[in-house]
Amino acid sequence: MSNIPATSKAAVLVEVGKPEVIEDIPIPELEEGSVLAKVLLAGICGTDVHQGRGELSIPTVTPLIQGHETLGRIEYISGDRKLAIDGTELKVGDRIMWAHPFCGECYECRVLRKPYMCSKSFGSGYGFNKPELLRGGFAEYVKITPATEIVKVPDNITDEEALGVGCAFRTVVSGFERLHDHSPIGTGDTVVVQGAGPIGLYSVLLSSFSGAARVIAIAAETERLELAKEWGAAVTINLKEVTDHKDRVNIVKEYTNGRGAEFCIEASGAPIAFVQGFDYMARYSTYLVMGQTSSNSVEFVPNVLQGKQAVVIGSGSADARHFYKALQFISAHREKIDFSKMISRTYALEDVDEALENMRLGKDVKGAFDNRNR
């Protein structure tokens, strides 16, 4: 282990609502089966922004190293750990991504077969842990625990193309899996996507591949809406230009013969968007909700749900197989779609507060910390 560095620089959230502090964190013990990865790129998620401001429904226990969507390169493998999730060999130098660790023993893991709902995993994942554990991507290195499933990044994918898989794309793949289990998007259907951040953009992409007649994207950021068009949105509605919700509803109805959309996907994270989404929907429609991370409440009339006879599907997070599927999708379609446009700007680790604020303000489609030249 002589080639292992003694410390790793990391951005530490010492206190909610305060600037982050760059610290040297000792590399922790690498027990049997663990992996040390050099962070190449670490994506900045809306969850990181809410977490740093104390706005997340999951309690924020400080101090911690943020960052749960990370692309790394294996620097060291401890002991007899050999295989990635697809059964291929892991070796030093491989580019990898990884899910949160799950216990594999609880009801959610064994009976439901939904490990991302694991009742014992809270507090053991990445981006939500004590600095000394070195389990956050806002650092030079990350320690990957023996219980963590690892996914290798295909050789034909660039770092920038792959990074969005770390949170948004795997979340959308998981959500669409649930959606298709219930009521797949059919040929000729209309899909409304609320929000054009990473979750919304990948939702536009998969909706456009589903056979839908049209995808309508609604958001406030012009740059993101332009990317939504590139990725399959036939219609875009800018919230800053069409400020009245009733006018936006009328636009949707104009494209659906007055009925509304068969599917709506909430990807904005704004609590009011959940209420507004029902207005875009036809009767007997389906609502996939993936963007809500806030604990803030919103007034809602249940009779609206009943009157629409709608189905609401809540979906969040994913497991390693969704990482794998998302990466395979990118590998197959990268010649036609520029997935690298998801990353609109990169930052040095020392610019953490600026990067988080720009993400909060919607200035970046997605920002990322770039350690490749450190």
Kindly report, residue by residue over 166-185, the tens digit of the pLDDT: 999 999 999 999 999 999 99
Looking at the structure, tell me whether residues 177 and 146 fall in a common domain. Answer: no
- The pLDDT, as a whole number, for residue 123 is 58
Q: How confident is the model at residue 80 (pLDDT cuts 50, 70, 90)?
A: confident
Length of the chain in terms of residues written: 374
Residue pair 139/11 in contact (Cβ under 8 Å)? The answer is: yes
Give 251 or 47, the one with higher predicted confidence. 251
Q: Within this chain, do residues 114 and 188 fall inside the same structural domain, yes or no? A: no
- CB-based burial, 78-101: b 16+ in 10 Å, e otherwise: beeeeebbeeeeeeeebbbbbbbb
Residue 218 has pLDDT above 90, yes or no: yes
Q: What is the CATH number of the domain that holds 205?
A: 3.40.50.720
pLDDT single digits (tens) 361-373: 989 999 999 999 9
Nearest to 185 by CA among 171, 194, 175: 175
Q: Check residues 296 and 285 and name the one with the higher pLDDT.
A: 285
**Helix 198-208 and helix 168-182: axis angle, to 10°?**
50
Residues 269 and 355 in one domain: no
Do 180 and 233 fall into the same domain?
yes
Of 100-114, 155-169, 319-333, 341-355, the range with the lowest mean pLDDT is 100-114
Question: Final residue of a domain: which of 273, 298, 314?
Answer: 314
- Alpha helices (H) along 222-301: 222-230, 245-254, 271-277
- Sign of dihedral through CA atoms 109, 122, 349, 31? negative
Range of the domain at 24: 7-152+344-370
Q: For helices 168-182 and 320-333, what crossing angle results, to 10°?
A: 100
Q: Are residues 251 and 366 in the same domain?
A: no
Determine how β-strand 261-266 pairs with β-strand 281-289: parallel
On whether residue 338 sits in a domain, the answer given is no
- Output the pLDDT for position 317: 87
For residues 298-309, give the mean pLDDT: 96
Range with lowest mean pLDDT among 27-31, 124-128, 289-293: 124-128
- Looking at the structure, tell me whether residues 62 and 89 fall in a common domain: yes
Q: Please state at what angle helix 198-208 crosses helix 222-230, rounded to 10 degrees.
A: 20
**pLDDT at residue 373, rounded to an integer:** 94
Q: How many Cβ atoms sit within 10 Å of the Cβ of residue 335?
A: 7
Read off the pLDDT of each residue in 236-259 and give the average, rounded to a whole number.
98
Predicted TM-score (pTM) of the model is: 0.94
Whether 265 is in a domain gets the answer yes
Overall number of domains in the chain:
2
Give the residue-averaged pLDDT of 57-61. Answer: 83
**Which tokens hold the place of 45?**
């998620």
Q: Parallel, antiparallel, or unpaired for β 345-347 and 367-370?
A: parallel
Tokens for 212? 């839908």
Say whether both 73 and 177 belong to one domain. Answer: no
148 and 11 together in one domain: yes
Mean pLDDT of the region 17-41:
96
Tell me the CATH number at 51. 3.90.180.10
329 part of a folded domain: no
Tell me, yes or no, whether 148 and 216 share the same domain. no
For the cut 80, the answer to whether the pLDDT of residue 124 exceeds it is: no
User: Do residues 236 and 307 share a domain?
Assistant: yes
239: amino acid identity, one letter: L
Residue 261 to residues 270, 272, 282: CA-CA distances in angstroms?
A: 20, 19, 5
- Is 160 a member of any domain? no
What's the mean pLDDT in 330-345? Answer: 97
Helix (H, G, I), strand (E, B) or coil at 295: coil
Same domain, 66 and 176: no
| 3-class secondary-structure state, position 91 | coil
Identify the CA nearest to 75 among candidates 7, 171, 142, 174: 142
**pLDDT beyond 60 at 1:** no
Confidence label for 122 from pLDDT (cuts 50, 70 and 90): low
User: Is residue 256 domain-resident?
Assistant: yes
Instruction: Please check whether residue 41 lies inside any domain of the structure.
Output: yes
